[in-house]
Amino acid sequence: MAGGRSGVAADRSAGGTQPFNTRETVSMKLAIIGLGRMGANMARRLSRGGITVVAHNRSRGPIDELVAEEEHVVPAYEEGDVLRQLDGPRVIWLMLPAGRVTSQAIERLLPQMSPGDVLVDGGNSRYSETMAHAERVEAAGVHFLDCGTSGGVWGLKNGYSLMVGGTREGFALIEPAIRVLAPTPDSGWGHVGPAGAGHFTKMIHNGIEYGMMQAMAEGLAVLRKKSEFDLDLAQVTELWREGSVVQSWLLDLTAEALKQEGQGLEAIRPHVADSGEGRWTAIEAIDLGVAAPVMTLALQMRFASQDEEGYGNRVLAMMRNAFGGHVVQRRDES
């Protein structure tokens, strides 16, 4: 096998020599509501960067885990405890599922907040809903910011890419936390525009991600199909990681996965979920009259992978038989 880098984690360490952004002394306290994989790791990174996090989750297990592990995490077992443990201007950062869960949380929290406080939606809300939330929140004198967040399970170590929409005044209040969460204090983050712009930017980011993943998957499928060459796809992806124009973090992850799972991937079902942002990207492209065939087709391929019934393909087989007499393969045939 061609020589290459030893692992994704080593390749992607934030700032190379500084896994957490502690170059500056940070004195800040904020709350995170929603301690799923992303929210909990963001709380960890903030704590390790010196920021005090008031942690709340619907179930207490993730709270207890954070309190036991991290020095600068304060528990808030009831949602009402969150605001009482913050000093003004209070910053509440939501890391909740998009849609009704986020909307209901905003409805509950807003009456308890004061003018000058900050409410951040760091989930994957649709940007149009974000704009509506911002109008309601800002009418009460509370700053509303939408933070498109990318980094996945690697964000704790490598930092997060942060795309923030909202007022500049509100952004200034959370900038110290942004600098700690980002890959370095001076890169990987930005105030990208008014309310909604952060989530819109993250939405398009995810659409691009769909296209990149689809192209890589198709290329590897073609390589594997050429059985006469007996290609080692773990080796091929590993050598592409150095000097190739397709080198990327996505390729790093793919190469590592092929080494760990085996290139046949027999244990993995061919079912690819979609989170919703790919759909929103395709719809937005249509509404704007922008040709985006790669992102749209990548989304459609995910739909195809989810179609275990295969009804459309069965209809095609039936039609082909009807007009051309072509053989139809039936389930009861061996």
Q: Is 190 helix (H, G, I), strand (E, B) or coil?
A: strand
Instruction: Give the separation between CA 118 and CA 113, rounded to whole angstroms.
Output: 9
User: Which residue, among 177, 182, 156, has the nearest Cα to 26 in the 3D structure?
Assistant: 177
Cis peptide bond upstream of 194, omega within 30: no
Q: Which residues contact 49 (CB under 8 A, 6 or more apart)?
A: 20, 21, 22, 26, 180, 181
In terms of Cβ atoms closer than 10 Å to its own Cβ (0-12, 13-18, 19+), residue 88 is exposed
Task: Note if 209 is an active site residue.
Answer: yes
Q: For the stretch 95-117, what's the b/e string if a residue is b when 16 or more beta carbons lie within 10 angstroms of its beta carbon?
A: bbebeeebbebbeebbeebeeeb
In sequence order, what are the beta bridge partners of 31? 54, 92
Question: Which secondary structure element, helix H or strand E, spans residue 92, and what is its range?
Answer: strand 91-94
User: Which residue, among 108, 127, 212, 200, has the nearest Cα to 163 in the 3D structure?
Assistant: 200
Q: Are 156 and 44 in contact (CB under 8 A)?
A: yes
Catalytic hit among 202, 256, 277, 284: 202
Catalytic hit among 29, 138, 209, 259: 209
In terms of Cβ atoms closer than 10 Å to its own Cβ (0-12, 13-18, 19+), residue 309 is exposed
Task: Note if 202 is an active site residue.
Answer: yes
Instruction: Give the separation between CA 147 and CA 164, rounded to whole angstroms.
Output: 4
Q: Kindly list the catalytic residues.
A: 202, 209
